[in-house]
Structure 1
Amino acid sequence: MKTLLQLALLFATFSTQAATVQQFQPQGRVVEQSRPTVRFSAAMINLGDATAAAPFNIECGNIAGEGRWIDERSWSWQMSRPLQAGERCIFTLKTGLTATSGETVTGKSRFEFLVPPRAPGVCNRAPVRRLRKIRPSSSTAAARSTSNRWTTTCGARPMVSASACPRVR
């Protein structure tokens, strides 16, 4: 009798746990993403229910998409196009969302991911072996040594140290 009571108590403990989001992919910074997915800890729909509503409010800029339930605990959202640099998506659980057992979904309710913006087009520094000395004309040769003159080969304007410029008199 004592064992039966302990089993009943154990069952009651596990049956009163609230449903949660077990996994949401992706999160944080991503390279390219077109299909976020979520897995809940409990059944959220009756299997085969094609009219079940989406569990999230979605803010994804001007990107459209279509959500669908994969099974009773998994949902995915197919984007019309992948995220591009600088774009972000935020998924927020709908308030009052409940599992089929009546449990309210608790825990983390906001998930986001983004593709970081690309770095501005900065000229890559040329390796040391590709740095070139500037050969001054005879008029500047007398004015300055060539030891302070340098440039890069990355396609930008030549960069010359300030000390390499002759003074005009």
Structure 2
Amino acid sequence: MNNIRNTFAATALLAFASWAHALQITSLSPQGEVAQVRQVVAKFDEGAVNFGDPKAPAPLVVSCSDAQAGKGSGRWISDREWAFEFEKDLPPGVSCSLQVRAGFQSPKGAALAANSYKFNTGGPFVQQVRPGTYQRIDEEQFFVLQLNGPATLASLQANVWCNVEGLGEKVPVRLLDGKERQELLKALRLDKAAEKEPLRYASLACNRKLPAAAKVQLVFGKGVVTPTGVANSIEKSFNYEVREPFSASFSCERENAQAACLPVRPMTLTFNAPVVRKLAAQVRLKGASESILPTLDKAEGDDEDAVNSVTFKQLFAERAQFTLELPAGFQDASGRPLRNAESFPL
């Protein structure tokens, strides 16, 4: 009986000692739901390999629901840190698991404690939006959302919307297709990429004309799904401001605010939005016996180039009276009429 007890105690002590000296993973990332994944990193509580050994085995086996997307290679960064690098960022809707490789041991003979880990990339999210939020937008602005993977058109239509200052309701989006979409993507040099992965590039517009100078949010809501049905769970907003109404302002150098323009200095008409060169060239500064043509702010270019100002640079007679006249139907390059047209002739 004593021999049996002694044998059992020795076995139990050996098992406890083996567990106590087992190699442990102290951290592994990512885990859970992570939107953007390119690398898996595992860290150990002590040296797991002889660092620099080209034959050092991988401690974990990586397998993903999308075998093609899950391709990659592992490497030891140090004797305590191992990384698995995917060939590309994982697309949305992919789940991966990591299992301890059977029989893995440290150089000291400590076996790696058995464990398993999981993570998934969740649903689609926006990697880049165009135009950028630092730019003022058009009243009928087109947007392109570059996603981390494909998203269904139906879920985009249902879960992306615009919030417009002054309106108490969501404004749905209109998905662009056909010629509108092709021309937009080509202008942004995204047409070739979109041909390969069309569902990664969402092209859309708020489904109403936006008020000038209004604040606008483009909202990528929860519920946008991949073709396999995996939905995103994080709402993301992009903040914009609509450009001001089209206007023109006259300026010249004066000795003081109440004085007349200095005759030896130029006079300038400035626009807050581009104007087609051919139209801007028709602005005239008219005196009692002459009509002066402007100098445009761009020295060269065809008639369809846009300019932001016109200048009258010649020497003017002292105390001469001039009238600044605009051509009929004066508008900016987007076709917007001049807000302060009643100020002209000036």
The answer to whether residue 54 in structure 2 is matched with residue 47 in structure 1 is no
Residues 44-90 of structure 1: CA deviation (Å, up to 9, x unaligned): 21121012111111112222111101111111011100111111221
Higher CA-based Rg:
2
**Matched residues in 2 for 1:68 and 1:129: separation?**
55
SS in 1 for 2:43: strand
Match in the other structure for 1:112: 118
Q: Deviation at 1:129?
A: 4.3
Greater strand content: 2
Match in the other structure for 2:172: 154
**Matched residues in 1 for 2:50 and 2:171: separation?**
65
Give the CA RMSD over aligned residues: 2.9
Residues 13-61 of structure 1: CA deviation (Å, up to 9, x unaligned): 7x95211111101111112010111011122211210121111111122
Q: Indicate how the Cα distance of structure 1 residues 77 and 155 shifts in structure 2: closer, same or farther if over 3 A, else same.
A: closer
1:90·1:112 contact (CA, 8 Å) conserved in 2?
A: yes
**Matched residues in 2 for 1:154 and 1:56: separation?**
47
Runs of 5+ consecutive residues of structure 2 not aligned to the other structure: 1-16, 125-150, 175-206, 208-346
Match in the other structure for 2:42: 38
**Counterparts in 2 of 1:129-168, with a 5 A limit?**
129-130=166-167, 153-155=171-173
**Matched residues in 2 for 1:102 and 1:26: separation?**
28
Q: Indicate how the Cα distance of structure 1 residues 125 and 18 shifts in structure 2: closer, same or farther if over 3 A, else same.
A: same
Higher relative contact order (CA 8 A, sep 6+): 1
2:118 aligned partner, one-letter code? E
Q: Indicate how the Cα distance of structure 1 residues 155 and 58 shifts in structure 2: closer, same or farther if over 3 A, else same.
A: closer
**Matched residues in 2 for 1:87 and 1:40: separation?**
26
Match in the other structure for 1:56: 60
**Matched residues in 2 for 1:47 and 1:130: separation?**
63
1:110 aligned partner, one-letter code? S
Residues 103-161 of structure 1: CA deviation (Å, up to 9, x unaligned): 11115x111211112383224376694369xxxxxxxxxxxxxxxxxxx64246x9xxx
1:55·1:93 contact (CA, 8 Å) conserved in 2?
A: yes
The answer to whether residue 36 in structure 2 is matched with residue 29 in structure 1 is no
Match in the other structure for 1:83: 90
Q: Percent identity?
A: 22
2:104·2:111 contact (CA, 8 Å) conserved in 1?
A: yes
**Matched residues in 1 for 2:23 and 2:32: separation?**
23
Match in the other structure for 2:183: none
SS in 1 for 2:172: coil
SS in 2 for 1:113: strand
Q: Deviation at 1:102?
A: 0.8
The answer to whether residue 101 in structure 2 is matched with residue 94 in structure 1 is yes
After TM superposition, the score normalised by the length of structure 1 is 0.63
Runs of 5+ consecutive residues of structure 1 not aligned to the other structure: 1-12, 133-151, 159-169
1:131·1:153 contact (CA, 8 Å) conserved in 2?
A: no
